[in-house]
Amino acid sequence: MTATPEKPTFEQARDELTDVVRRLEAGGTTLEESLALWERGETLATICQEWLDSARTRLDAARGPATAED
Amino acid sequence: MALDSSPENPAAVRTIARAVEGWIAKLGPVWVEGQVAQLTRRPGARLVFLTLRDTEADMSVTVTCLPHVVEACVPPLAEGQRVVIHAKPEFYAGRGTLSFRAAEIRPVGLGELLAALEQRKNLLAAEGLFDPARKKPLPFLPRVVGLVCGRGSDAERDVVENARRRWPGVVFETREVAVQGVKAVSEVTAAVRELDRLPHVDVIVVTRGGGSVEDLLPFSDEGLVRAVAACLTPVVSAIGHEKDSPILDLVADVRASTPTDAARKVVPDMVEEMRGVQDLRSRATRAIRGRLDRDSAWLDAARHRPVLAEPMVLVTGRESDVRLMLERSRRALDSRLARAADDVAHVRARVRALSPAATLDRGYAVVQDDSGAVVRVAADVGDGALVRVRVSEGEFRARREP
């Protein structure tokens, strides 16, 4: 899984998601805006999850089955 | 000087013998240094026989002398002893043998030995043989370890066992040679040269156990030192105990204090190395796993924030806001209406209180002149003037009679 122009890196997705949550919690946005923000938040969360899952699989693959879990 | 002879007229043995005797006599008395290899003293014998060996080369000569010459030696002459003798070559024509007749034998004392060593050390140092710049680093993991040591010696066992414990995969190319006495120098030097030539030998260890100064002398031998200096393969010197330091220590690339120390220097402790690698590896894994756990925890937390977890909050939030607003506005309205109602009632009461109706009910009447002003002073109304009279129930007009 690599960062592509459309897909942000983990850090980018994380930072934007932090910002979305902050704005949603701060309120003061129109109903329409907050819905859009919420949808963006969901997308970003999925992207973060995908990065983390891929990192775990790469880690397990690299460690190989033989090594003892530590 | 050469004799002329030919198959047709050969020289007689006696002629040859006498000629050789003459030539040899020409050498005359000389001071010769060497090592006593063999000493035979038969009681009552006229002469004492001993073999004198060269200190480096594999050559020796027979020496004869009168018993008192040997007895004069302090400490008493013994095999292996280095000596300096004053002797004259003798050719025994009878059997065509050569021997040296010793007139004086001086043992080479420890003092002279050490002095000679020191002098040799300085000489070699001046040549730059001991320069640190010449020292070659030892390979981290030698394919084969060349080992020059005494036959079945403790030194050999120490080096091999310790090396194998540190790295079971170690391979030795061992040359068991004389590490003491007259043959030591030549055998050790030959072994070192041979191992140096072997391509797969990456390091050479020269080792022997402790011994006297004489015992260790071969390892200060100039020939051996130069051979080691010429080696392309790194050489580790592990001679004797900690305190011993033959010249080999100075020319070798690395000096080990003991055979065990030599093993430690040429072979890494693989068990330790493996543990180190394993440790680093698990730490790396723990670090990356910790990082992933932290990030996942963060993501979970972010996801559980109400604004994301229950988006309806956004809507219900607004709904409740709206409802709240509605209630407030309604309440505000009610209160205003109520207040307005009160005001009206209040005003009405006042109006009623102020209005003359009650007074009129009690029979009074309100008189206004034609301008509408209330008449308070009768004189204000002129005769024949028209006035308006209000009574409790209605009103009528009236004219002032004089």
Domain boundaries, chain B: 13-110, 115-268, 357-399
How many Å apart are CA A9 and CA B171, to the nearest integer?
Answer: 52
Q: Does A10 touch chain B (CB under 8 A)?
A: yes
Answer yes or no: do A42 and B289 touch at CB < 8 A: no
Helices of type H across B100-255: 110-126, 154-166, 184-197, 213-216, 222-229, 247-251
How many domains does one find in chain A? 1
CB contact under 8 A, A24 and B315: no
Q: What is the pTM of this model?
A: 0.51
Q: Which residues of chain A have a CB within 8 Å of the CB of B314? A: 24, 31, 34-35, 38
Q: What is the pLDDT of residue B211?
A: 87
Please report the residues numbered 26 through 45 in chain A whose beta carbons come closer than 8 angstroms to any beta carbon of chain B. 27, 31, 34-35, 38, 41-42, 45
pLDDT given at position A4: 67
Residue A62 lies in a domain: no
- Chain B contact probe: residue of A40, A56, A58 with most B CBs at under 10 A: A56
Supply the ipTM of this predicted assembly: 0.74
Give phi and psi for B78, each to the nearest 5: -140, 160
Tell me the C-alpha to C-alpha distance, in Å, between residue B268 and each of B138, B145, B272, B321: 11, 13, 8, 75
Tell me if chain A has a CB within 8 Å of the CB of B298.
yes
Thinking of the domain B115-268, which architecture would CATH place it in?
Answer: 3-Layer(aba) Sandwich (3.40)
DSSP B178: -
What's the domain range around A40? 9-18+34-48
Give the pairing of strands B97-107 and B366-368. unpaired
d(CA B357, CA B363): 10
Tens-digit pLDDT profile for chain B (402 aa)?
A: 567 888 998 988 888 888 889 899 898 899 999 988 888 888 888 899 999 998 878 899 999 999 988 888 877 888 888 899 999 999 988 888 899 999 999 888 777 788 888 899 999 999 999 999 999 999 988 999 999 999 989 999 999 999 999 998 899 999 999 998 878 999 999 999 999 999 999 999 999 998 888 889 899 999 999 999 999 999 999 998 888 889 999 999 999 999 999 999 999 888 888 888 889 988 988 998 898 899 999 999 988 888 788 877 777 777 887 888 888 888 888 888 888 888 888 888 887 777 777 778 888 888 998 888 889 999 888 889 999 998 888 899 999 998
The Cα of B296 is separated from the nearest Cα of chain A by a number of Å equal to 7
Does B357 contact A at CB distance below 8 Å?
no
Q: In this structure, are residues B19 and B32 in contact, taking their beta carbons and an 8 Å threshold?
A: no
Inside any domain, residue A2: no
Residue B294 neighbours by CB distance under 10 Å: 10
CB B96 within 8 A of CB B17: yes
In a domain, A69, yes or no: no
Residue A28 included in any domain: no
Decide: helix, strand or coil at residue A27: coil
Nearest Cα residue in chain B from A42: B308
The residue among B144 and A36 whose pLDDT is bigger is B144
Selected residues 272-291 of chain B with any CB under 8 Å from a CB in chain A: 281-282, 285-286, 288-289
In one-letter notation, the amino acid at residue A2 is T
Residue A67, domain member (yes or no): no
Cβ neighbors of B262 (< 8 A, separation 6 or more) are B159, B205, B207, B236, B238, B256
Q: In the CATH scheme, what is the homologous superfamily, with its name and number, of domain B13-110?
A: Nucleic acid-binding proteins (2.40.50.140)
Q: Using alpha carbons only, what angle is made at residue B51 by residues B89 and B88, rounded to the nearest 5 degrees?
A: 15
